[in-house]
Structure 1
Amino acid sequence: MSYQDIHAAEVADFLATEGLIVVDQRDEHTRSKGQLPGAQPASEAVVGKLVMQRRKNPPVLVYCYHGNQSRELCSFLAQFGLSRVYNLEGGWQAWEGWQQQRQPKHPN
C-alpha cells in the first residue's frame, strides 16, 4: 500500500472531492496563520479516527509545511489499509507559492 503525491495546482479541484478529509500536520501557531479549507490538525484523535474508518476508505489529503513530515503520515495511513491517501507535494509552502502565482500582477 502506498500514497500518491498531489501538486498544489491540483489541490483546488481536489478539495471538492466528496468525503475528503484534510489533515494539517503543521503546529498550531502555523495553522493559525492559514490552512486549507476544512483542514483538521493531525492529532492522535484525528489519526485514530482515520485508522478506524479504513473500511470506508475515505479520501485523505495530508500536508505539512514543506511536504516531508506529511509523507510519513501518508505512509502510516496507507500501511493501515487506506488506499486513497494523498500528500501535498511541497506542502503549505508549495500551496502558498501556487496561490501567489495566480494573483494578478499589477504594474508598478
Structure 2
Amino acid sequence: MFKRIAIVEANRLQQEAEAQVVDIRDPQSYALGHIEGSIRVDNQSLPTFLDSADKNKPLVVVCYHGNSSQQAAEFFNQQGFHDVYSMDGGFEAWKLQYPYAESDSN
C-alpha cells in the first residue's frame, strides 16, 4: 500500500533518504519545470525504469495535482517497490512551495 505525503515531507525524503522521484506528467510540462533529480516516466520508459530502479529506496510519485500519482503509486507498489508515496498537491503545489523548480531551459 502506498502512502500520501505532504510536499515538505517529500522534499525531506529526497534530501535525507535519497528517495527516487518519478514524474508522470507529459514531456512538455516536465520540460517547463520539474523537481530537481526527478525522472520522467511514461509508458515507453517504464520498463527501463522498473529494471534499473532500486526498489528498496523510497519512491515519490508526482503528477500535476496529486490525483493521478495515487494510481501510479499503487502500480509501483504492486511492482515490488517497498516504500511508495503519492505527493499531495502534485507539482503545481510543489512549485508554489519551492518556486525555483528546475527546468530544461536553465
TM range (shorter): 0.7 to 0.9
1:95 aligns with 2:100: no
Instruction: Name the TM-score, length of structure 2 as normaliser.
Output: 0.77
Give the superposed CA RMSD: 2.3
Taking structure 1 as the reference length, the TM-score comes to: 0.76
Matches within 5 A, 1:1-80: 2-44=1-43, 46-52=45-51, 56-80=55-79
Secondary structure in 2 aligned to 1:5?
strand
Gaps of 5+ in 1: 101-108
Identical amino acids, percent of aligned pairs: 28
Distance 1:10 1:44, change over 3 A: same
Equivalent AA in structure 2 for residue 78 of structure 1: N
Closer, same or farther: CA 17–45 of 1 in aligned 2, 3 Å: farther
Name which one, 1 or 2, has greater alpha-carbon Rg.
1
